[in-house]
Amino acid sequence: MDRYENQNHSEPENQEQEYHDHTNQEHNHQERQADTHQPAAEDNRRYKKDRRKAGLTGFIGAVIGALIVAAVIPFVYGDNMSSSNAAGGSSSAQEETSNAAAPETTDMSVQSVDVSSGVTDAVGGVSDAVVGIFRNQQGGLLQEGSSETQGAGSGVIYKTEGDSAFVVTNNHVIEGANQIEVGLTDENRVEAEVVGTDSLTDLAVLRISSENVNTVAEFGDSSTLSVGEPAIAIGNPLGNLNGTVTKGIISSVDRSIPVDTNGDGRTDWTSDVLQTDAAINPGNSGGALINIEGQVIGINSMKIAQTQVEGIGFAIPSNTVVPILEDLEENGKVERPQLGVTIGSLSQIPSYHWQETLNLPEDVQEGVFVNSVQQGSAAEQAGLQQYDVITAINGNEITNGQDLRSFLYNQASIDQTIEVTFYRDGSRQTTELTLGQSGTQMG
């Protein structure tokens, strides 16, 4: 019993001792274990710290590298990249704007624009009165497409009277033709009859049926023209470009052009014409030169056909044309009062001839000189001679050839007696003469 009790009391003591020993052993084991792992933990901490440093260093290096690249790129690619970016940005902006502003539906209707002007109005009012002139010089019928049917020139319908319409054109356009047709703007061709011609002014009148004529041209006053004002030519250049319009200005209102009517190389007439830079090509002859009001101010007549000359065309002034047309309609020719002389203006010869050849006083600087006297004429009967200088007729001052022709055509009449003032050998003289008649010669 005692032993049993002793055994029961001794067991806890042993267990406590064992527990204490075990605890000590565990503690010792942990201490040994701690001692064993302490260097490894320190190394691990150092490794992690080194990794953080290395990562930070790499990040900083990457940032620096990116900044360097960004700074270098503009120098490498230059404006291309800038333009591309700008274009891309602009395109993107435009696309966004376009998308934002795009309507739900697209209007595809045709928009009417008013392009009318003074020129279009002027041309529109008279163009249908400008026609093509076609001629045949070899006999037989006019056949479409043959060389004989090519347009010879142009003409202008200026008057209708009953069943007839009258067309003015140039004399040289229809000269020598045995059959003539007029091409209207509706492309119909009608046969034409020659009413009268005048080789000196290069004018002719044709008659056609008025059946298909709807437009008649109106003549304007060529004496009111000014250099620099608009001039519009309408005609049939090259014989087949009917209704062609060219525009320019009046380059001169008083240009004298010598005319050789019979081809003998001598000047038979001095034509006073308008000069324009509106293009006048072969086939335009006989067409209209109009002003900005659509009035005919001249009939296109000739062009200096030289390769080195451009923009010089001529037209017979309307104030010269109208009385000629009246004579041609009435008589078939122009019956002009004439002196029986050929003349030239002082302004057309060098001034030293005024005293050395013509023996004029120094104060006489304007007039016309007699170049030749026709045998049996009124001038010969009145005693006029070569190199006499005419300065006045019936008290009207004569400064040039245009003044003389203007007096004869507009104020004088056949068989009228006139007083002529002239200079001969430096002295002023007068004589009377009765004007004769001529269908061709002037002066």
pLDDT at residue 252, rounded to an integer:
93
More confident residue, 317 or 280: 317
Residue 188: pLDDT above 50?
A: yes
- Which residues are identified as catalytic? 172, 202, 285
More confident residue, 26 or 333: 333
Same fold, 116-140+148-333 and 335-438: no
CA–CA separation, 343 and 30 (whole Å): 150
- Extents of the domains making up the chain: 1-34, 44-73, 116-140+148-333, 335-438
Q: pTM of the prediction?
A: 0.60
Which whole number is the average pLDDT over 328-332? 94
Segment 393-414, tens digit of pLDDT: 999 999 988 788 878 877 888 9
Residue 379: pLDDT above 80?
A: yes
- 50-54, 62-66, 189-193: which has the minimum mean pLDDT? 50-54
Residue 355: pLDDT above 50?
A: yes
CATH H-level, domain 335-438: superfamily: PDZ domain (2.30.42.10)
What's the pLDDT band for 440 if we cut at 50, 70, 90? very low
Residue 18: pLDDT above 50?
A: no
Which whole number is the average pLDDT over 232-241? 83
From 235, 229, 222, select the one nearest 249 (Cα to Cα): 229
More confident residue, 435 or 33: 435
pLDDT at residue 428, rounded to an integer:
96
116-140+148-333 carries CATH number 2.40.10.120: yes
Segment 106-157, tens digit of pLDDT: 666 676 666 667 888 899 889 999 999 998 755 544 443 344 445 689 999 9
